[in-house]
Amino acid sequence: MKSPHGSDELKPLFVYDPEQHDELMHEAENLPSVVVSSAAAGNAVMLGGGYFTPLPGYMNLADALSVADTMHTTDGLLWPVPVLNLMQDVSAIGDHKRIALRDPNVDENPILAVMDIEDIEEATPEEMEHMAEKIFGTLDDAHPGVATFLNQGHFVVSGPIQVLNFSYFITDFPDTFRTAVEIRNEIKERGWKKTVAFQTRNPMHRAHEELCHMAMERTGADGLVIHMLLGKLKPGDIPAPVRDAAIRKMVELYFPPNSVMVTGYGFDMLYAGPREAVLHAIFRQNMGADVFIIGRDHAGVGDYYGAFEAQEIFDTIPEGELQIEIFKADHTAYSKKLKKVVMMREAPDHTKEDFVLLSGTKVREMLAQGIAPPPEFSRPEVAQILMDYYQSLNK
């Protein structure tokens, strides 16, 4: 199992000790409090679960700018995306050095964490735009990540945090949400010697399923962690509970027993393409995976990134700064000639007509009409779950 990123041990910021947790909750009720953005809340959840090891909390402006420019903090730690608590208004903080952070995504805004404030800095509009352009590769406000980043606020509130709850993820996804701590422990309990991680924000069709089989076979792995994003997505994406049901059905029917763990993590999608691919790799190293699958247009949106930019960025990372192995995958599809799913680059004698290829739009239209995609594209049991969902939208 790989060591955590930049550390000999995992550093979850959740307060697990019951007595200390109770004391902090009591203290937090009497501290000045602020409701943070959904992005800052997601950062707190990831810090709490150990996914952001070795960070101690939210970055200051110098680290954020350094990460944007060089993919490294001012101390030289590889990190691809600033981890920030951006606020529109800091008047509620005043001169206080310790505050409670409240959850924007749960009714009545319960306490999420206690924060020690090291600095409150005002980023200029130019600095905010500079960071956005470096992170997302564009300033187009039609890009969902750019719009979210620039609308959070321009006050950078930095400092360490102690996390006291995992937001709605534990209550809404009790069987799926797992911290990096829990996944590391379960990998050990299962006795896996080498583990592959697969990231998804969508249901898994036949090509995704076969890609996971390929990655396991070619790397000699005996375990697979399907790790789905449970936070906010862009409009039109399939909700997490539907994805979860479809993926579990696929695993139940088409993978050997004790070879797959279906899990999820509490974070909002950034749609930052190559930068987010590196962040995803850090998550997976921290949770104990040895190999991470990066496919075509990983973490992309629209046409903002080249098909393989999310793979090529790993070639720019100095050796030794990231331990996890990257399995670079091409687009996978069912070959009518070979009667199996293949990586398209590994079938040079094929034309487009030799593959079963369907656009996302076409698949959604079929599912909404109660028409199952061909079994070469989607397992019938998975397609049924998705058809039921799309047809429920039309009722």
| Residues designated catalytic | 201-202
Omega within 30 of 0 (cis) for the link into 54: yes
Instruction: Classify residue 198 by burial, with Cβ atoms within 10 Å: 0-12, 13-18, 19+.
Output: buried
What is the radius of gyration, based on Cα positions, of the chain? Answer: 21
How far is Cα 62 from Cα 178, in angstroms, rounded to an integer?
Answer: 32
Maximum Cα interatomic distance, the chain, rounded to a whole number of Å:
70
The DSSP letter of residue 316 is G
Q: Which of 43, 54, 79, 47 is nearest to 64 (CA)?
A: 79
Residue 304 is given by DSSP the state: S
Q: Are 121 and 58 in contact (CB under 8 A)?
A: no
What is the secondary structure of 70-89 as a DSSP string? Answer: HSB-TT--B-SS----EES-
Spatial separation of the C-alpha atoms in residues 46 and 179, rounded to whole Å: 8
Residue indicated by tokens 């996971």: 212
What CA–CA distance (Å, rounded) separates 343 from 214? 9
Locate 372 and state its tokens.
């199952």
Q: Are 278 and 313 in contact (CB under 8 A)?
A: yes
Task: Give the Cα separation of 128 and 95 in Å (integer).
Answer: 24
What lies within 8 Å, CB to CB, of 107 at 6+ separation is none
Which of 118, 95, 104 is closest to 36 using CA atoms?
104
125-136 and 273-286 are packed helices; what angle lies between their axes, rounded to 10 degrees? 80
Pairing between β-strand 332-335 and β-strand 355-356 as defined by DSSP bridges = antiparallel
